[in-house]
Structure 1
Amino acid sequence: MVVDVIEFRLDQRSGVPTYLQLVQQVNQALRLGILQPGDQLPTVKEVVGKLAINPNTVLKAYRELDREGVTEGRRGQGTFVSHDQPATMPGDYSALRAALLKWVERARKAGLDEESITALVTATLHAAFFEQAA
């Protein structure tokens, strides 16, 4: 089945190559349970139509996902999430997500833009994980 739930978004300011942004978004959708094994990714033509990017960029992303074993291309049918994918994160994280959304709203009201919020979250995550490992 074609999944309409994954809608690719590009951040031209991120410095991350476009094809890698697509790869990262598919991996994130898998972790969050938005995509499941057997789900079909949007066609190259659909992605190109929505994002106005070069078809070769989408092909490069899909080839990378194939190489990583995340997806499998089926000639004449499309690109599908591999059945060898691990289960999504266990548990219901809706309460955590709601709390995070409230925190983001507070950060925005405090004057932080998206890049500043991302930098703060990234730095905090790195500190938390490196402190745990030490």
Structure 2
Amino acid sequence: MVEYRIDRRSGVATYVQIVQQTKQALRLGLLEPGDKLPTAREVVEATAINPNTVLKAYRELEREGLVEPRPGAGTFVRRSLSHPEAAADSPLRTALAAWMSRAREAGLEREDITALIAAAVDESFSNSGPRPGPSREDTA
């Protein structure tokens, strides 16, 4: 089950943080179709946020087709965002972990690494046409 961590100093709306963290869990395969999200009450107890904030986040996830409420049962994952290449044991993830270790050994802090990765991602997606390899439609 996902455990939400709310950063009140981030400047990001609380409901957006819940949406982002849920999508992250879906991308990494931590949540899969059929899994139940924590109830609004459980999230409120763990994070001390307003229940309406949790419900707003869950409605946004529902609007995007990622979760579905089941009256009396809870909110369940409808579809995944994960890719096998992002799994914890994938070669890409292993290579990234090794790169992160080298970056930390070189003295880079979390913010430095985050900025470097964000710049590389932006550069990669702005300078290239279609992604190499099969599209999602080809693999679906």
Normalised by the size of structure 2, how large is the TM-score?
0.77
Aligned with residue 26 of structure 2, among 15, 24, 30: 30
What is the correspondence of 1:56-71 to structure 2 with a 5 Å cutoff? 56-71=52-67
Using the TM superposition, give the Cα deviation of residue 115 of structure 1 relative to its aligned residue in structure 2, in angstroms.
2.6
Q: How many residue pairs align between the two structures?
A: 128
Using the TM superposition, give the Cα deviation of residue 107 of structure 1 relative to its aligned residue in structure 2, in angstroms.
2.7
Within the alignment, does 1:88 sit opposite 2:82 as a pair? yes
Query: 2:134 corresponds to which residue?
Result: none
Using the TM superposition, give the Cα deviation of residue 110 of structure 1 relative to its aligned residue in structure 2, in angstroms.
3.5
The runs of 5 or more residues in structure 1 that have no matched partner are: none
Distance 1:112 1:17, change over 3 A: farther
Normalised by the size of structure 1, how large is the TM-score?
0.80
CA contact (8 A) 2:26 2:32 kept: yes
Cα distance in 1, alignment partners of residues 96 and 50 from structure 2: 34
Distance 1:28 1:102, change over 3 A: same
Query: 1:12 corresponds to which residue?
Result: 8
The runs of 5 or more residues in structure 2 that have no matched partner are: 131-140
Aligned with residue 46 of structure 1, among 26, 42, 47: 42
Using the TM superposition, give the Cα deviation of residue 19 of structure 1 relative to its aligned residue in structure 2, in angstroms.
0.8
